[in-house]
Chain A
Amino acid sequence: MAFAAFTAADVVVRTPRKKSPVALLLLLPGVLYLVLFFLAPLVSLFFTALQVPHLDGDIGQYDYGFNWANYTDVIRMYLPHILRSFGYAIIATVIALLFSYPLAYLIGVKARSRPMLQGLMLVLVIAPFFISFLLRTLAWKQILADESLIITSLKALSLLAPDAHFTGTPAAVIFGLAYNFIPFMTLPLYTSLERLDLRYLEAGSDLYANPFTVFRKITVPLSMPGIIAGTLLTFIPAAGDYVNASKDFLGAPDTQMIGNVIETNFLVLQNYPAAAALSIILMAVILIIVGVYVKRLGTEDLL
């Protein structure tokens, strides 16, 4: 009797803290990593953003303080860059989606009966990753330069004005962003579409839906997890990208995005508080946009 009471008590005590030391041990590296390389820099970034210039100090010397005006200053100064960043990123995401969806559909649905072809096409989508994206972007700069075959041909065909440029324009930056992030869009879309049960499409056409309606009402909603994953994987890095928009690559001074401004402030102007404030603004805006986007599509259970 007493024995039974003992074991029962023991069980009651034990069940609430089910965490075994092994589980904690397994979590440790990950937690340590996050604290060291995510949480600590984030806190440091937050305080850097509030620093004040050192009195009579050199350029790049700052003291800790609570200078909230850093935020209003950078917003006043760099609002066009901030807006441009999100504008470019949204347009590039839409272009990447429009390009990737048919591609992913071709690989994931149409090529389903031919696994060899499917594998080959997937390799082709991933293949650009084997070359550094800096090199690839530089290559595009060459390909799209004023004296390149493409641009001279377009000019010869009067599709482009004789004095027009392509590199250095917003179009070139958006092109570069879309190009660089297409694999990130295609792969999640592919995984979604690869699992798409074609019997639903047959059922749709059996219920009087024409091919366009079947696509709109069945294919798109069922591939929504892929669309959300792909657009987020494209939009988030694209908004913070500083390579494509840089004047050394496809951009020009007037196509600078928020990433370029942060880079310049950190590395050239050594205005650390401004760079940190911009970084936090970038992060916050992305969080808000992504939050609203995911909420609007109502797909917590899909993510």
Chain B
Amino acid sequence: MFTRQFADGGADLELQGISKRFLGFTAIEELDLVVPAGSFFALLGPSGCGKTTTLRLVAGLEEPTSGRVLIGGKDITSTKAYQRPVNTVFQSYALFPHMSVLQNVEFGLRRRSVPDPLAKAREALRLVELEQLAERKPQQLSGGQQQRVALARAIVNRPALLLLDEPLGALDLKLRRQMQLELKSIQLDVGLTFLHVTHDQEEAMVMADTVAVMNKGRIEQMGAPNELYELPRTVFVANFLGQSNLFTGPVVSSTDTALTLDVQGFRITVPISRTQRQRGEITVGVRPEKLSLHTEAPDLGSDSNTLGEGRIVDVSFSGVSTQYLVNIPALGNLLVFAQNLGFGPVAGVGAEVWVSWQVGHGFGLADDPSPAARFAADDSTAAIAIAELEES
């Protein structure tokens, strides 16, 4: 019955205890998720974490092994894809090559016998600024234009829920940035619920109100992008969403407000309110841009952590900031991002430096890194080369 008409607005999506097992492996394990109506929700995770499978389950292209899918409070687990008030923007766009752009956009409207499909399709093409290309075939369009047609083809149906399966993956960086902003403004315009699947953490943070970080078929952490970034709860989130410097050591003293760790002889203090565990061996971290570099031993008092001395082993300049890799004996490598307030790097490779950060910027994690996971999210060649050097 709701397939016959436009949704008035977005609808809640609720997944209850969803599991999906394929022959030989489990893609999703007991997943519970609520996406509130009208929100822009991002599922973020590495490839193979189950995020695309989750999307396909919602779209009805896969059936869950167990659990229920609810849209707007209605159980739609057993309905077929074509009966669901859901549309998808596919990663490959999947525009029908034998139809014109306009016919592609009209397709969903005609299937539901919506009155005046032509005008509505043209209106949707106007929204994505492709009205003048309506008569072209999809293969005559550029990647960015195809992506916009795919978007128009989905939103013209005013689905209660719009699913986006890494739709920006094939675009170049500049176009991707532009499309991210466009998508976001379209979402605000039409007020639909967007569920966006991506492996690009920056894209997720730029676009979504709420980000859920998925790993191995489970959601590790969920929240507003800045909350996730500033206070990651697990090692995986700390490394996948941005980068982190992590330290593991036993708690040696604690006050009402702060814990102090002993990490290979260095003292590191974190606020208790920002830790997941308070006893025994714990892992704490700090974001690279929160670190300051000093060329001589600083004396900063008790509201800062200071590590040093160390040596800069790598400097990479990226325009707005410079990335330093600092090796501190016994601790290993630390990543420091410094804004380029002056001209160029402040210290070169081989320079002797100290690193400090405010106690309030640290965070304590719920789990410990596996030995190799230290810079797992950093797949730059420099990091890999250093990791290999350390191993040999």
Contact = CB atoms under 8 A, between A and B. Distances in A.
Nearest to A197: B94
A264 B253 CA distance: 111
B157 A203 contact: no
Interface stretch (A23-31, A55-63, A174-182, A206-214): A206-214
Nearest to B163: A206
Contact of A222 (B83, B97, B108, B157): B97
A202 B80 CA distance: 11
Interface in A171-209: 197, 199-200, 202-209
Interface in B82-99: 82-83, 86-88, 90, 92, 94-98
A42 B255 CA distance: 105
Contacts of A207: 82, 87, 107-108, 111, 153, 157
B96 A202 contact: no
7 contacts: A205-B60, A205-B81, A210-B82, A213-B111, A218-B96, A222-B97, A222-B98
B98 A206 contact: no
A202 B94 contact: yes
Given A205-B60, A206-B61, A206-B81, 16 more contacts: A199-B94, A202-B94, A206-B59, A206-B60, A206-B87, A206-B88, A208-B111, A208-B112, A209-B82, A209-B111, A210-B80, A210-B82, A214-B82, A218-B96, A221-B98, A224-B98
Contacts of B61: 202, 205-206
Nearest to B103: A217
A202 B88 CA distance: 10
Contact of A205 (B82, B92, B98, B157): B82
Contacts of B95: 203
Contacts, number: 61
What is the size category of the interface that chain A forms with chain B? 20 to 34
Nearest to B81: A205
B321 interface: no
Nearest to A206: B88
B3 interface: yes
B107 A209 contact: yes
A205 B107 CA distance: 11
Nearest to A302: B98
B111 A203 contact: no
A209 B95 CA distance: 14
Interface residues of B, number: 24
Interface in A228-260: none
Given A199-B90, A199-B92, A213-B111, A206 B97 contact: no
Interface in B45-96: 59-61, 80-83, 86-88, 90, 92, 94-96
B80 A205 contact: yes
B238 to A, nearest CB: 35
Given A205-B81, A209-B107, A200 B3 contact: no
Contacts of A211: 82
Interface centre among A197, A200, A213, A214 (most CB of B within 10 A): A200
Contacts of A206: 59-61, 81-82, 86-88, 90
A192 to B, nearest CB: 12
Contacts of B87: 206-207
Interface in B242-262: none
B170 to A, nearest CB: 14
A152 to B, nearest CB: 47
Contacts of B107: 204, 207, 209, 217
Nearest to A199: B94
Interface in B184-212: none
B194 to A, nearest CB: 15
Interface string B148-185: 00000100010000000000000000000000000000
